[in-house]
Structure 1
Amino acid sequence: MSTTKRTVLITGCSAGSMGSALALAFHASGLHVYATARTPSKMAHLTSLGISTLTLDVQSASSIAACVNQIPSLDMLVNNAGAQYTMPIADLSIPEAKELFDLNVWSYIAVTQAFLPLLLKAERGMVVNQTSVGAVTTIPFQGVYNASKAATAMLSDTLRLELQPFGITVVDLRTAIVKTNLVKNLNEAKQPSLPDGSIYEPAREVVEKALRQEGFDENAGMKAEEWARLTVLDLLKKNPPNVIWRGDSAWLTRLAAVLPFGMFDGMVKKLTGLDVVEQIIRK
């Protein structure tokens, strides 16, 4: 019987991310983990534990190719790298929206295509795509982000069928609220603000607070370590679920997805401040 460890490669493993938490959980489960990120120094905490870390810019064809050349074999690929973009659809920047889709959608396809030859050689190859409960949730000011996750969810489900003849499993991680640095990264990259002439000008202050997610409780959400531990347990099952719903409020989002259209509009408006915006605009 072969004693070779199963191998997993994860994108987007910078400290404080869900990718980092997954790398630690897979490592604890005995797999050989290849943790990757665009900036290797942000994975020092993983390197110190003996986890293999590699440079990978998922939006660079040459970086992807260089990373593939360093991997002798692969059983599981986890597409996790991603970013957020908040802006009303009426005011969004098309170039910035395209950049988000390049990262949250097209990079997943590019990375999967590049590593597919290795996965085809595996005994039980698997592709895991990090989407979000946002793939099935309408949230004001997050239309582009949620649309990118919905696109990836559909591509994942299609890929699930297309790769079945080759014995490769495809799993969609519909992740809800987890304690990570996603909001922090959003605001450090660029403080979201409405453009001049926005139709939301009368409610600018309220909307910009929502764009920066200032009302978001940084202590809210499932601990990333617990989310990753349970997710890895699911992924390592003989027959893993096709979709894994996990994180605080995941059950509520799953329920909302099958209830009559618009039933949760009032709750979502209140959570994002759109109810206040609506009052100001209609004065």
Structure 2
Amino acid sequence: MAIPKRTVLITGCSNGGLGAALAIALHEAGLHVYATARTPSKMAHLTSLGIETMTLDVLSDPSITACVNQISSLDILINNAGAGYTMPVSDISIPEAKKLFDLNVWSYLAVTQAFLPLLLKSKGMIVNQTSIASVATVPFASAYGASKAAMAMFSTSQRLELAPFGITVIELKTGIVRSNFITNHQKQSKLPSHLPENSIYSPARAIVEKALTQDEFTDKGMRAEEWAKGVARDILKGKTPIVWRGEEAFLARIASCLPFGWFDGLVRKMTGLDLVEQIIKARG
């Protein structure tokens, strides 16, 4: 009798994203992959490779329930769907930041709770996509970093709480990876990439608004295919609770162990905050 393939379900698998790259890597590793996204047509490339695709809107309870009902067993759940939001703390839209947390935090927990009965049966694995932004401060991206830090803490709690049931929990602290994440966000997001007229950063508007677009990261980072293959190897080994993969991940890991603020100067220079400070002080 043939041994059934291990099964993995991944959220947020639209073409060109990290979820899609991970679906391909795990498919090539011999797993049966359920690649999911809110819009199935955006997974056409995965379908062409023989990967099973399913509709899943992680912000919709009925959609989550419908997806669960289509699966009889599950070994690995990878919570990957997410979005970004850049804006100085002083100008953040609280309602929009709450929507970000709905996607980057609460949807992870909702999807996990829904699939937990299947994972209990298989003594399976939960993998939560966070970011090096959960430990490394990025000016003007505080809402995103806070959402990832929140999910990192939930992951740690899940790891301890679910261990008695034989479930493994792994957190992906992903660094800079070349994918469609920023491009897709810019196209789909209705959030402004410009400062409000009355922003306290108005004197340095050009520098700050350039940072808000994150254009400098669009073509930088590890190739998505390389990142995905590394992550696939790491999670299938299941020996470490935190996987650090992607450009600058190693640096962020070091920074997380050093005294608070040691990398402030480097971060300020990378985001142009040093120039912003010069302009603000000159105007003051």
TM-score relative to the length of structure 2: 0.97
| Counterpart residue number, 2:128 | 129
Deviations 1:219-267 (A, max 9, x none): 3211111111111111111x43100001111110000111111111111
2:216 counterpart SS class: coil
Instruction: For 1:158, give the aligned amino acid.
Output: S
**Counterpart-to-counterpart distance in 1, 2:222 and 2:137:** 21
How far, CA to CA, are the matches of 1:6 and 1:260 in structure 2? Answer: 42
Secondary structure of 1:171's aligned partner:
strand
Q: CA deviation at 1:2?
A: 5.7
Q: Which runs of 5+ in 2 are unaligned?
A: none
Q: Gaps (5+ residues) in structure 1?
A: none
Counterpart check, 1:244 vs 2:253: no
How many residue pairs match? The answer is 280
Q: SS at 1:282's partner residue?
A: helix
1:153 aligns with 2:149: no
> Which residue of structure 2 lines up, in the alignment, with residue 37 of structure 1?
37
**Which residue of structure 2 lines up, in the alignment, with residue 142 of structure 1?**
141
Report deviation, 1:196: 2.1
C-alpha RMSD of matched pairs (Å): 1.0
Correspondence for 2:84: 84
How many Å separate the matches in 2 of 1:148 and 1:103?
9
Aligned equivalents of 1:235, 1:257: Cα separation in 2: 22
Residue in 2 aligned with 1:95?
Answer: 95
Q: Confirm whether residue 164 of structure 1 aligns to residue 172 of structure 2.
A: no
- Please say if 1:111 is aligned against 2:137: no
Distance 2:221 2:137 in 1: 19
Q: Deviations over 1:123-178 (max 9, x none)?
A: x4000000001100111000000000000000000000000010000000000011
Q: Which residue of 1 is the match for residue 206 of structure 2?
A: 205
Output the TM-score relative to the length of structure 1.
0.97
Distance 1:54 1:69 in 2: 12
What SS class does the counterpart of residue 199 from structure 1 fall into? coil
Moved over 2 A (4+): none
Q: How far 1:12 sits from its partner (Å)?
A: 0.2
1:276 aligns to 2:259 (yes or no): no
